[in-house]
Amino acid sequence: MNTSLMINDKRIRFSKLLLCLLSIALGTSTAMGQEAPAEDQGASASQEATTENVVQPKLDLGIIEIKNLEPTRNQTSKVTFEMHLTLPADTDPALVAALGHWQHRLREQVIVAIRVAELGDYLDPELVRLRKQILYRVNRLLKGTQAENVLLADFTFSTE
């Protein structure tokens, strides 16, 4: 079976499990009929209002496609994904625009992290270790401005 099909199958199973657990959790909380005290409702409403007003800046690094030849294993692996970096909420928009000019440098660090990663890093449904490696390399390059999170979309990994 193709590795990318196995990864997609695991992701689908994980998504279904997560959806079931979420629906069970929501169903039991409403079925119990317990309501939070009025003071807690007011506090949670104010917290929601403050989180809705905060816009977290992000830096789009675009679609990254990497084809890696490993002659010792007689294997070629291909990784494709779309990547975004989230920055702290208090980051100046001018700084985010200036970081847009560093896009090639940031992409280079991402490519290095992808090539260094092991096969097990790609098989994790949440890609935790891979995202940590990317975040470490990007933050080392940025020095002053620290990226908070790495967002990967449309991630595919295949081997030939």
Summarize pLDDT for 17-30 with one digit per residue, the tens.
656 556 676 665 54
At 150, is the secondary structure helix, strand, or coil?
A: strand
Say what the pLDDT of residue 152 is.
94
pLDDT reported for residue 51: 53
pLDDT score at 36: 47
Q: In this structure, are 63 and 117 located in the same domain?
A: yes
Per-residue pLDDT tens digits for 46-90: 555 555 667 788 999 999 999 988 888 898 999 999 999 999 988
pLDDT digits (tens, 9 = 90+) for 104-153: 999 999 999 999 998 889 999 999 999 999 999 999 998 866 899 999 99
For residue 152, the domain's CATH number is 3.30.479
- Between CA 2 and CA 126 the distance in angstroms is 19
63 and 24 both lie in a single domain: no
Range of the domain at 29: 3-53
pTM exceeds cut of 0.85: no
Domain count, the chain: 2
What lies within 8 Å, CB to CB, of 129 at 6+ separation is 117, 120, 121
Same domain (yes/no): 26, 98: no
Question: Do 72 and 8 reside in the same domain of the chain?
Answer: no
